[in-house]
Amino acid sequence: MSKPHVLVIPYPAQGHVIPIMELAQCLVKQGVKVTFVNTEVNHKLVTSSWLDKVSFGELMEMVCIPDGLEPWEDRADICKLTWSILKTMPTKLETLIETINNEDGNDKITCVIADDCMGWAIKVGNKMGIRTAAFWPASVATLASVLSIPKLTDDGIINHKGWPLSDEIIQLSEAMPPIKPENLGWVGFKDVDTVEAAFQMLKEAEEASNMSNWFICNSAIELEPAAFNLYPQLLPIGPLLASNRLGNQAGHFWQEDPSCLTWLDQQPVCSVIYIAFGSFTIFDQTQFQELALGLELCNRPFLWVVRPGMTKETTPVYPNGYKDRVGSRDKIVNWAPQQKVLAHPSVTCFVCHCGWNSTLEGVTNGLPFLCWPYFADQFHNETYICDIWKNGLGFNKDEAGIITCREIKSKVEQLLGDQTFREKALDIKEKVTSSVTKGGRSHNNLNSFIRWIQEKNTDARQG
């Protein structure tokens, strides 16, 4: 008798690969075979940094298909990447599925789980008569703006290319974060061609969402009750974190530096500021130096992730004499084992770009935030943190658009000087933790979804 065999495909970005990889590993633990499909470039990155990949044996197979770009072309060019994906990858995925299904009649793909930003993959699955599930790795508040594209267009809020037609705040629900038109997920790219490419990709995502058997989300109803009430067809199964593997997480594009954990062991409890801005944020030199000086002014130990490519300069330039002045109070690494860092008792707060993965990791560890969003959905998440959950603060920019070193020092002192922020953070942690443990809403939903995968001849949706 054939076993369920799921093909999983993420959008090719760090923040998308990690959570759907967590889902894939949940499936493998329940005896489901998974073929995980990355682009060729990301396949090399993920498999070279994931040291534990052999532990899943034959149940997890990592494969790749081309994204259509030449090896030397820049994948950070979202416009070029998006059009190349839409042109190249659907036929490549169809060929891959046909090859797998023809190799062994008892090992055919029984379900396609696709990141909704790869909505075309849902269409491929449907075309081939395979059951499908859409997966959303970010906040449901962000997804709501995508699912509202037809209404936003009909109401004259955006045009047919996705551009806002007014500055009026978009409020999809009273209890959801208000959205400034310039912070719509696709508009945040600013560049005309990139905005229109991203909008086309998300239009496909909206269309595909209506074609899938299930639509599962890496969130919890305890975090976003208003958003889930607005879209009852969405199923919360998150946060999907590696907590059951003590923070050993797969899917990273860079090698983690474990030396920072040894350094944290030497710091006092609740003393260290942790600063990390994900895989996409880029600083100019002025802002980078202000951040460095701000951390120095705080006069506290800090762990700072300065990944390759984070500054516009090839190599980050620190203020003169900086390393000598901060001495042993600082630890700077290229990439950190973030879940282990955030769970460490020495860490007192998280200076964060508010990407959804980082937001969930901070929330589940009960840490207060200092929010420094860079683009798109990160502004929605900042609103959650500062205005709805109230477990953090944002920064104010000066007239030149810079977050100054004095502003950084001031907000650190305000956050750490008011116990209310930590109390709120611990309260949210407790609620979210209860959702992913046995009997919790997300836990039950994930089990229902896995049962549906295993009962592969069943076509009923559960919720």
Is-above-0.95 flag for pTM? no
pLDDT of residue 52: 61
Encoding tokens for residue 71?
């090896």
pLDDT of residue 250: 66
Compute the distance between CA of residue 132 and CA of residue 215 in angstroms, rounded to an integer. Answer: 9
3-state helix, strand, coil in the chain (%, to 5): 45, 15, 40
Residues 6+ apart with CB under 8 A from 320: none
Per residue in 327-353, pLDDT tens? Answer: 888 999 999 999 999 999 999 999 999
Check: CB of residue 225 under 8 Å from CB of residue 388: no
pLDDT of residue 452: 96
pLDDT of residue 69: 93
pLDDT of residue 461: 40
Tell me the sheet residues that pair with 9: 114
User: Which H or E run contains 448?
Assistant: helix 441-454
As a whole number of Å, the end-to-end CA separation of the chain is 28
Output DSSP code: residue 243: G
Compute the distance between CA of residue 142 and CA of residue 177 in angstroms, rounded to an integer. Answer: 9
pLDDT of residue 274: 98
Spell out the domains of the chain, with CATH numbers in brackets: 5-245 (3.40.50.2000), 259-432 (3.40.50.2000)
- Listed as ranges, residues in the chain with pLDDT below 50 are 245, 457-463
Compute the distance between CA of residue 25 and CA of residue 422 in angstroms, rounded to an integer. Answer: 32
pLDDT of residue 252: 65
Burial track 16-30 (b if 16+ CB lie within 10 A, e otherwise): bbbbbbbbbbbbbee
Residue whose C-alpha is closest to residue 385's, from 15, 180, 377: 377
pLDDT of residue 262: 96
Encoding tokens for residue 57?
């044996």
